[in-house]
A and B are shown apart, each in its own frame.
Chain A
Amino acid sequence: DIVMTQSPDSLAVSLGERATINCKSSQSVLYSSNNKNYLAWYQQRPGQPPKLLIYWASTRESGVPDRFSGSGSGTDFTLTISSLQAEDVAVYYCQQYYDTSTWTFGQGTKVEVK
């Protein structure tokens, strides 16, 4: 199985500042035939189900604020919140869907306000 490892496990950021979350896969999730990275990001606010933020590593889901952006390719990916808002306090998960029959999540990164 492809193992997804996120870093850090938690971070505290001041309101209005940038938050950066990293996700590393144990093997490349870049599919060469279409040049797409099979990587998604989810947000889980306290007491809520997860919410899809980004897929194809950098495509924002409809309705997701543009302060959220995804980048990276191959095995190394980043979710950036450009200006942290109070409502962004949550746990963030990356997920690979390259392995078409077994999808795996990272362990999660908790984002708090400093």
Chain B
Amino acid sequence: QVQLVESGGGVVQPGGSLRLSCAASGFTFSNYAMHWVRQAPGEGLEWVAFIQKDGSTKYYADSAKGRFTISRDNSKNSLYLQMNSLRVEDTALYYCAKARIDLGAVAANWGQGTLVTVSS
């Protein structure tokens, strides 16, 4: 079955950097677009970034543009999110999500998330 396991979260000071990873299994990773979605404590969902199955197309939320970079390594079945210039408001649970094969915009499977805390 589909498994998505996020890692790399932690506590970082404002202005710092983190690299999140998502290990995928149970499906042919290279056939699917992927997303990062975050959820601040007690808040709703916020889409962060999207990457096409071959990495050719990437989209970012305005809040992530210029600071975050989404990437993938299909040979390692892994998705990444490099986060730089982190702000207090980036504190959230970050989910990795697999898109539907026929509808890249919709997140069909989600991991359990990795928590990022930005605090001085």
Name A's B-contacting residues (CB within 8 A): 1, 38, 40, 42, 44, 49-52, 55, 61, 91, 93, 95, 97, 100-108
Contacts and interface: CB of A to CB of B under 8 A. Distances in A.
B100 A102 contact: no
B44 A102 contact: no
A90 B111 CA distance: 18
B44 A100 contact: no
Contacts of A105: 44-47
Given A55-B103, A107-B44, A101 B59 contact: yes
Main secondary structure of the interface of B (DSSP, over half): strand
Interface residues of B, number: 21
A50 B106 contact: no
B40 interface: no
A102 B110 contact: no
B105 interface: yes
A20 B88 CA distance: 36
